[in-house]
Amino acid sequence: MAQFVATCRGVLSNVGSNLALTLDGGVINVAAQGAQGAQTWMVTYNPTGMAVAGPFKTGANHLGWTQGNILTMAEADNSYNWTFGTQADMVAAGGANVTATINNVLYYLKVDNNNQLVFDTVAPLNNRGNWKWLAAA
């Protein structure tokens, strides 16, 4: 039986820093909501399993990574898959971790104490690893 697949669309806000994921001039970063740069992102939502997971994109390009596991924007490619927890997690005040598994290693998307976007294997010690969806500005 075919699964119904919808799309989550909005601003991805970091709970611990209140900064939003942005793409400005090809640079992936975090900035205040409404700042210059693309802030509307989309990811697949599967209502059957309540899971929010899969390719994560803004415009035509997906958020991916280089061989050195550095965040980058890539052309549409289903090999770049992200996990966001459930829809309930992603709209709750506490949000959820956003992760990617690369070569069987779990990586976290987080904001460090210097408000820099970080993508690494160290689990967040605080809610700077948690993200939530906000309505697009």
For the stretch 23-72, pLDDT in tens is 998 899 999 988 888 888 988 777 777 788 888 888 888 999 988 888 99
Structure tokens at 134: 């906000």
Contact predicate 88/72, CB 8 Å: no
Contacts of residue 27, Cβ cutoff 8 Å, sequence gap at least 6: none
Label residue 13 by pLDDT band (50, 70, 90).
Answer: very high
pLDDT of residue 2: 42
pLDDT of residue 137: 59
pLDDT of residue 135: 79
The residue among 17 and 5 whose pLDDT is bigger is: 17
Label residue 106 by pLDDT band (50, 70, 90).
Answer: very high
For the stretch 109-120, pLDDT in tens is 999 999 999 999
pTM as predicted: 0.88
For the stretch 58-100, pLDDT in tens is 888 899 998 888 899 987 666 788 999 888 888 889 999 999 9
Question: What is the C-alpha separation between 35 and 28, in angstroms, rounded?
Answer: 13
For the cut 60, the answer to whether the pLDDT of residue 3 exceeds it is no
